[in-house]
Amino acid sequence: MPAGLWAALGPLLWACGLALQGGMLYPQESPSRERKELDGLWSFRADFSENRRQGFEGQWYRTPLRESGPTLDMPVPSSFNDVSQDRQLRSFVGWVWYEREVTLPQRWTQDLGTRVVLRIGSAHYYAIVWVNGVHVAEHEGGHLPFEADISKLVQSGPLSSCRITIAINNTLTPHTLPPGTILHKTDISKYPKGYFVQDTNFDFFNYAGLHRPVLLYTTPTTYIDDITITTGVDQDTGLVDYQVFVQGSEYFQLEVCLLDQEGKVVAQGTGGRGQLQVPNAHLWWPYLMHEHPAYLYSLEVRLTAQTAAGAVSDFYTLPVGIRTVAVTEHQFLINGKPFYFHGVNKHEDADIRGRGFDWPLLVKDFNLLRWLGANAFRTSHYPYAEEVMQLCDRYGIVVIDESPGVGIVLVQSYSNESLQHHLEVMEELVRRDKNHPAVVMWSVANEPTSFLKPAGYYFKTLIAHTKALDPSRPVTFVTNSNYEADLGAPYVDVICVNSYYSWYHDYGHLEVIPLHLATEFENWYRTYQKPIIQSEYGAGSVAGFHQDPPLMFSEEYQKGLLEQYHLVLDQKRKDYVVGELIWNFADFMTDQSPRRVMGNKKGIFTRQRQPKAAAFLLRERYWKLANETTYHLSAVKSQCLENSPFSF
Ligand code: BDP
């Protein structure tokens, strides 16, 4: 549908529940569901042919990959870029091929009442999937899951194994998210024939490959396809509105049951939609805001269906946090109380694995967040793995959930084609993350050229559709443009502003920060009367570089710059500033450039997650902020005291 038509019909379609077709529930084991993880070594080949199409011309998906040429061992999940010793593979642009043989349990291939689904957590950027040489799925976008029902294929013959082939292309164009441009260097006196490079307008390395878990799972053929939860609070009573979507049959019964953490049933219901009421509900509170943060109930959904083959049951359990989110002219409220974001911006980035999902890394990062006293992060600049969102729910780390709308700079990237894709990505993101209590706001983009003429219509449409998809959360995008010129700002609920005073200009002059920042905040607030988050600020430092008086790139300069920001944040948070998120949690890899020293060094932790001086400064600040914004709960106060690096 053309974007103009979306603008007109979109909200209506969404209101009718037509746009969000098909669920994307996280695959889980239950008495009716099984999982088979496909992580480990896959066979791999990059197509280095000039047009990058040799794999399609030679139909590499038809026979085992080893038969069409040499293969490498490639770990999944991982980016392929930093695993090998091949310089060309590190910066490869085009199609790469992954393949894995899987042995299937007999029941999966013989029981026609079993539905077998292949799920790919993420494949950056464009993916085509075949099973036993048969095309089963295609997906655009590198940060969200997609699935293929492969039951018919695996149940069509005497098979006990299947061959999964996935071709992935990391090329970015003005219409992808994030956008990019392929630059063809045609001067043959300087470049070899056919030479091209990928150009982008974002500041992180375009890692590619199978970045997140790949797995097979089963459901019965009549199954719980999706669940949507929204929660509210009426005095002491928690309200859980639920909607359950079923596929495979029209004749079924649904029972839902809400259990507390002790396993006690606190509310029950029947049917596809309804409201559960929980007297004296334990609310989901952010980390450090309550003595028992992140309280999760379990919503057990039980489906019973009558099919030709007899009665079928399906079970799915969804964690549910009861909480409310609201925005006033100058506050961000969680459960009716002012919430101040004190946290970080992250990246999915680490040595060797690149953007590949890794449990030890994830747990380390959450331990560091808690050590720091951080209560929030933004998923800069793309949706993170679902497992990350689950940990945020469990630990009470509040999330601003961002789309991959980063580097939207060129006017072509505001075209109808781009807008259409951006709408689809928001739909996929909301569909995946809508039930996470930790997610309190959607961010549709980071630092677009929102002063360009088409930006007004683009953001108006995008934000309106995101709100129609999910009326329960505020929507923003993150800007670095001027308050007078920003054509998207009128449509956001919260103004998120990035600034790099005394870093990208006024080099070395930390003293100018307070005036710059105070003036900027006042201008934004006077113009829009909306709460403001300092969504990025920071300075680069190379761990171990020391200089006093501070010079740029020393740990002292990074610390000194943060201190100047904090002076103003401490004044304005009394009025309308509702958060501060440091850029960045950890050093991360970027494209090579004279401005980057083996990547971006604005981390308060190194890429190996060791603290720089700035981490200790922020730790002190965040625990102090936590102490001030906690609602007089002695247990949290004593936790603050215990963990705080200083006494109050
Ligand atoms: C900001 C961008 C972020 C960059 C950062 C920087 O949003 O992606 O990494 O600048 O330059 O403007 O360090």
pLDDT in tens, 78-116: 999 999 999 999 999 999 999 999 999 999 999 999 999
Q: How confident is residue 14, by pLDDT bands cut at 50, 70 and 90?
A: very low
Which residues in the chain are classed under CATH 2.60.40.10? 223-320
Please report the beta strands in 489-588, taking only residues with DSSP state E, as ranges in sequence order: 495-498, 532-536, 577-582
For the cut 90, the answer to whether the pLDDT of residue 1 exceeds it is no
Question: What angle (nearest 5°) sits at the alpha carbon of residue 408, between those of residues 171 and 469?
Answer: 100
pLDDT score for 310: 86
8 Å CB contact between 377 and 343:
yes
- Nearest 5°: phi and psi at 312? -125, 140
CA of residue 570 to ligand 1 center, whole Å: 23
CA of residue 496 to ligand 1 center, whole Å: 14
Nearest CA to ligand 1 atom 8: 203
325-635 has CATH 3.30.1360.180 classification: no
pLDDT digit string, tens, across residues 207-262: 999 999 999 999 999 999 999 999 999 999 999 999 999 999 999 999 999 999 99
- State which CATH number among 2.60.40.10, 2.40.280.10, 2.40.128.720, 1.50.10.20 fits the domain covering 223-320: 2.60.40.10
Nearest CA to ligand 1 atom 5: 203
Write down the catalytic residue from 402, 447, 520, 536: 447
Q: Domain 34-170+206-220 belongs to what architecture? A: Sandwich (2.60)
Closest atom of ligand 1 to 504 CA is 11
Q: How confident is residue 644, by pLDDT bands cut at 50, 70 and 90?
A: low
Residue (of 247, 253, 256) closest to 221 by Cα position: 247
Mutate to test the pocket of ligand 1, among 536, 585, 597 (most ligand atoms within 8 A of CB): 536
pLDDT score for 8: 40
The gap between the terminal CA atoms of the chain, to the nearest Å, is 58
| C-alpha to C-alpha distance for 165 and 132, rounded to whole angstroms | 8
Which residues in the chain are classed under CATH 3.20.20.80? 325-635
CA of residue 483 to ligand 1 center, whole Å: 19
Closest atom of ligand 1 to 447 CA is 7
Question: Is 250 an annotated catalytic residue?
Answer: no
Q: How confident is residue 640, by pLDDT bands cut at 50, 70 and 90?
A: low
Distance of CA 384 to the CA centre of its chain: 3
Task: Report the range of poorest mean pLDDT among 227-241, 276-290, 306-320, 619-633.
Answer: 619-633
Q: What percent of the chain has pLDDT over 90?
A: 91
Q: How confident is residue 635, by pLDDT bands cut at 50, 70 and 90?
A: low
CA of residue 561 to ligand 1 center, whole Å: 16
How many other C-beta atoms lie within 10 A of the C-beta of residue 516? 18
Ligand 1 surroundings by CB, under 6 angstroms: 203, 381, 446-447, 480, 498, 536, 583, 600, 602
Which residues in the chain are classed under CATH 2.60.120.260? 34-170+206-220
Closest atom of ligand 1 to 538 CA is 13
CA of residue 444 to ligand 1 center, whole Å: 16
Nearest CA to ligand 1 atom 10: 203
Q: What percent of the chain has pLDDT over 70?
A: 94
Closest atom of ligand 1 to 588 CA is 9
User: Which carries the bigger pLDDT value, residue 258 or residue 6?
Assistant: 258
Q: How confident is residue 641, by pLDDT bands cut at 50, 70 and 90?
A: low
